[in-house]
Chain A
Amino acid sequence: MATSTHPAPARESHRKAGPTSGSGVNFGRVLKSEWIKVTTVPSTVILIASTVLVMIGIAALLAWQTTILFDAQSDPDMASQMQGAPDAAEISRDIPGSGLVIGQLLMASLAVVLIASEWATGMIRSTMVAVPRRTPALLAKQLIMALVSFVVGAGAAFLGYLIAQPILGSSDLGFGLGDEGVLLHIINTGSVLALVSIFAMSIGTLVRNTAGGVVTSIGVLLVLPIVVAIFGGGTEWVVDAARFLPSSGGEQMVATTIQEGALNQWQGALVLGGWALVLLVISLIVTKKRDV
């Protein structure tokens, strides 16, 4: 370059070539960046694909098992021995989203891994240098993961529904998308996964450690309700409070029949969504202040 001996003019021309309108950071661009990050780590893509497959597989298995239960209940001899077993026709509606527990386990882990691995590898410093305001970067990552989770959950539930129909149909247990609660169940299977991923990623952001984040979020989502059921089952206030655990909120969101006195789907969404929102806000505030 001929200008290199004249620093000042070179700088001027550089100025002009530099920031022009539209060259800065905006949320759409940060979203695109986070999308590239999610799709360019092979293990992430593999995990997402396997979650869908596992959820569909569980729906198919449960459909097959339900037909066996139904056949048994239709047989008068067997039915007399099966007092107290759930009604096959009733539980068949829960089949599309029946892989939700394992889906939560996988997507919550992935949500934690996506953020905590940035700390583990040091990538977070590149992220925060590119987006020094930090909040847009975290929100974009949360949004991408929530959308992926929703598509995984709702998509797997819909495919689970499609696969279950011919199996259930053989025992006359088939049902349609228009039947009461079915469509909401399928959509909310996605919504639960989306909220769970926000919940888990916020925890991952706070603890900045993959193992710690996975253990904490899985512990709260899947282990805590079991512990509460075992040790607090007899105590009234514990049972009452347990309805407001994040996992209980998720359960109610996908319920096809609401028990007397239980929260309905929307109230369940408020419970799980409330937990996710509170943790999200805390994680944003803490990250904004923290050194990375």
Chain B
Amino acid sequence: MIEAQALSKRYGAKTAVDAVSFTVQPGKVTGFLGPNGAGKSTTMRMIVGLDNPTGGRVTVNGSPYAQHRAPLREVGALLDAKAVHTKRSAYNHLRAMAATHGIPNSRVREVIELTGLGPVAKKRVGGFSLGMGQRLGIAAALLGDPHTVILDEPVNGLDPEGVQWVRHLAKGLAAEGRTVFLSSHLMSEMALTADHLIVIGRGRIIADAPIQTIIDGQGKVRVRVRADRPQDLLGSLAGEGVSSQVLEPELFEITGVEPRRIAEIALREGVLVYELTPLQVSLEDAYMELTQTEVEYHSHALPASGEAPAPAEGR
């Protein structure tokens, strides 16, 4: 169980994490989703005490990470695959980590087998591919057989077989009752692995709900409607648990109800409807929509030649 309360991290004038509060429950895989630079890694680093929060606090299994007597047995973390001395072998790296907790070498060999590092365990880590580095990071995270597992972008650089393996691993750990907290910037990956989703953008939590709710809520049918008396139509729809957004005086979007139902009500109310367009929302779109106002690095279409890009003026 991970509990963050008003957790903040500022670097000078820049706020990386802005008073986030969330709970990661045991027994399920919680996805931590957000675009690059949203504050995922910073949050995870604060959980294991690498970064000191500028505000708020975060506890793991009831106390701050650093106050656990056996931190590696409480939390296993893969924060970045390169947290290894390049001249040391994978086996010796794990042995040195294990020694701090009196974890026997038999467990070191176990996690090496578990992560499929056997053939390269005695080789220098410097020569590892990104995927092997990732596996070594996961091996280190599992050393202490921890109750809580934190994996930052674990599938980065893994081949398809590796990606699937991480998925099974995460689900298996959660099924054993452990807390699994897993970050990614890919919605599609999360849809396959996570049971619960925390979406972060620009340091703020945008959504925190079971994945099904997010898919349903965001993937709900959205219908673009042009009608001559929008207020009458929306008024009659109000009882159906829908939400709406008025774009122009006679143009609006209705979420949560099928187009046919809208047409039925319009017919009953005598409202003239001259457009009724269902808007399909994929999971990816839902995510983009959730985060589009919250991303730090936008990509823009290149300006046409001779045209200067619009200057970003203060509002």
Are A and B a genuine interacting pair, yes or no? yes
Q: Which B residues are CB-close (under 8 A) to A33?
A: 96-97, 99-100
Q: Which A residues are CB-close (under 8 A) to B172?
A: 4
Interface residues of B in 27-80 (CB under 8 A from A): 27, 45, 48-52, 65-66, 68-74, 77, 79-80
Mark each residue of chain A from 105 to 127: 1 if its CB lies under 8 Å from any CB of chain B, else 0.
Answer: 00000000000011001111110
Q: Shortest Cβ distance from A131 into chain B, in angstroms?
A: 6
> Contact check: which of B49, B95, B99 meets A29 at CB < 8 Å?
B99
Q: Which B residues are CB-close (under 8 A) to A11?
A: 26-27, 147, 176-178
Q: Shortest Cβ distance from B214 into chain A, in angstroms?
A: 22
Q: Shortest Cβ distance from A182 into chain B, in angstroms?
A: 39
Q: Which B residues are CB-close (under 8 A) to A1?
A: 176
> Contact check: which of B26, B86, B101, B178 meets A130 at CB < 8 Å?
B101
Q: Which A residues are CB-close (under 8 A) to B80?
A: 122, 125
- Interface pair B69/A19, CB less than 8 Å apart: yes
Q: Which B residues are CB-close (under 8 A) to A117?
A: 85
> Contact check: which of A4, A19, A291 meets B176 at CB < 8 Å?
A4
Task: Indicate whether A42 reaches chain B with its CB closer than 8 angstroms.
Answer: yes
Give complex CA distance A15, B95 in Å.
24
Interface residues of B in 133-153 (CB under 8 A from A): 140, 145, 147
- Interface pair B73/A130, CB less than 8 Å apart: no
- Counting contact residues on chain B (CB < 8 A from A), the size range is 35 or more
Give complex CA distance A272, B140 in Å.
40
Interface-lining segment among A20-28, A63-71, A262-270: A20-28
User: Closest residue of chain B to A117, judged by CB?
Assistant: B85
- Interface pair A37/B96, CB less than 8 Å apart: yes
User: Closest residue of chain B to A21, judged by CB?
Assistant: B69
Q: Which A residues are CB-close (under 8 A) to B83?
A: 121-126, 129
- Mostly, the A contact residues are helix
Q: Shortest Cβ distance from B134 into chain A, in angstroms?
A: 14
- Interface pair B145/A25, CB less than 8 Å apart: no
User: Closest residue of chain A to B93, judged by CB?
Assistant: A126
Q: Which A residues are CB-close (under 8 A) to B178?
A: 11, 14
> Contact check: which of B45, B68, B92, B100 meets A30 at CB < 8 Å?
B100
Known: A11-B177, A19-B70, A291-B50. A41 touches B101 (CB 8 A): no
- Interface pair B84/A128, CB less than 8 Å apart: no
Known: A132-B65, A132-B66. A23 touches B73 (CB 8 A): yes
Task: Indicate whether A170 reaches chain B with its CB closer than 8 angstroms.
Answer: no
Give complex CA distance A1, B102 in Å.
26
Q: Interface on A for B, CB 8 Å cutoff?
A: 1, 3-5, 7-8, 10-11, 14-15, 17-19, 22-25, 29-30, 32-34, 36-37, 40-43, 117-118, 121-126, 128-133, 137, 289, 291-292
